[in-house]
Amino acid sequence: MPEGIKNKILELVKEYYYKTYKKLPYNKVPVSGKVYDEKELQNIVEAALEGWWTEGKWCSIFEEKLKNFLNIDFALLVNSGSSANFIAIKTLTSIKLGDRKIKPGDEVITVAAGFPTTVNPIIEVGAIPVFVDVELGTYNAIVEQIQEAVSPKTKAIFLAHTLGNPFDVKAIKEICEDYNLWLIEDNCDALGSKYDGRYTGTFGDLATLSFYPAHHITTAEGGAVLTNDPQLYRIARSIRDWGRDCWCPTGKDNTCGRRFSWQLGKLPYGYDHKYIYSEIGYNLKMTDLQAAIGVAQMDKLGYFIKKRKENFEYLYNKLKEFEDYFILPKATENSEPSWFGFLLTIKDSSNINRTKFMQYLNDNGIGTRLLFGGNLIKQPYFVDYGIKYKQIRNLENTDIVMNNTFWIGVYPALEKGHLDYVYEVFKKYLDGVE
């Protein structure tokens, strides 16, 4: 396509954006949402015009931007954060890892107060999730219970940084080192968070990201697997790419220079390396159309993180007045969260009914969410399918989260006017609570 025509199209896309953009009114406060401008639209149109569409140059650019931002060696783009979590734990089942590989019946320590796709991959590979309780306020795993949960069958710890608040990385890394355990960081809600001055998602053997529209950046649907380990990267990439042994990029042939010179498994010598499969794999790749959006989003990430932190601090100072009613969120020691949301737990001493209060907030334009699955072992699928698990103690705080906790938004589209409105709505309701 002639360059001049393409440029005209991209200019029209820019014009379209500015003629259709509408500012969010102060009495509408979603918990999350996409924040973008004409650049995302121009990128996806440009990628479409190029006609490649599947994994290609835009994916490569996006991966490089992620690696440079996080200062990590490998970033593997996938089609969702859930797929990223699945690939991460599936990677640890590879025969290439010898005695350290996760086998059916092995145990993986995690929490029940979270999103199901942190836990479901553990179940899918035949391992047993071992649930520990969480702290109220940080909503992250209680370290002492993780220590208590370790058994001869334990192979890994798989934890999310809850709503952007880092878990106690130092203590949990020490447990992993003491017992030779794998660590997977579910960093889907925490892109841009730091622990001890270093970005989360860079501490674990593997880590994951989500680019669903609610998250810190978006590609509509998408995610990534992160690692500094070249062997784990190679395995993860194979699982993402049908399980193939070949490591050629999409559209390339014979990167190894031995395409017709391999003999693997019981295949005949010279069998085309592009069709040799060394892992049980799938097609979980991201498209170039999605990655083109991500490339533009990465240029805004620094601003997004700053705005989330500012919104959280402003809202915290406004809602501190209501500490008699709520447990307010608190950052983990030695951390700088890039907050995904603002968590509140209703105190038992208050007379607030969570369902009625959330309904009131929603009726007044303020979006709310629960802390995802609350207590996953009480979810229908856990009960109905008879899923095997272990738990440490009684998960008392997890049940409090299930019954009393919810969160509201701090995402970058929100301004002080939105947060002032949140305060006013809270105050009006609480003034009527005896």
Please list the active-site residues: 215
- The two tokens of residue 365 are 């334009």
Going across the sheet that includes 335-336, the strands are: 198-199, 194-195, 335-336
Phi, psi at 65, each rounded to 5°: -65, -40
Q: What SS3 state is found at 366?
A: strand
- The C-alpha atoms of residue 227 and residue 63 are separated, in whole angstroms, by 12
- The C-alpha atoms of residue 112 and residue 89 are separated, in whole angstroms, by 17
- The C-alpha atoms of residue 231 and residue 226 are separated, in whole angstroms, by 12
Which DSSP state fits 365?
A: T
User: Which residues in 79-181 belong to E strands, given as ranges?
Assistant: 107-111, 128-132, 154-160
CA pseudo-torsion sign 307, 313, 314, 315: positive
Q: How many angstroms separate the Cα of 126 from the Cα of each of 109, 152, 180, 187?
A: 14, 17, 20, 23
Q: Which residues pair with 111 in a beta bridge?
A: 132
Give residue 13's Cα distance to chain centre. Answer: 30
- The two tokens of residue 340 are 């995904």
> Tokens 């608040």 belong to which residue?
165
Give Cβ neighbours of residue 195 (< 8 Å, ≥ 6 apart).
Answer: 166, 169, 170, 203, 332, 334, 335, 336
- Write the burial class of residue 362 (CB in 10 Å: 0-12 exposed, 13-18 middle, 19+ buried): exposed
CB atoms closer than 10 angstroms to residue 150: 17
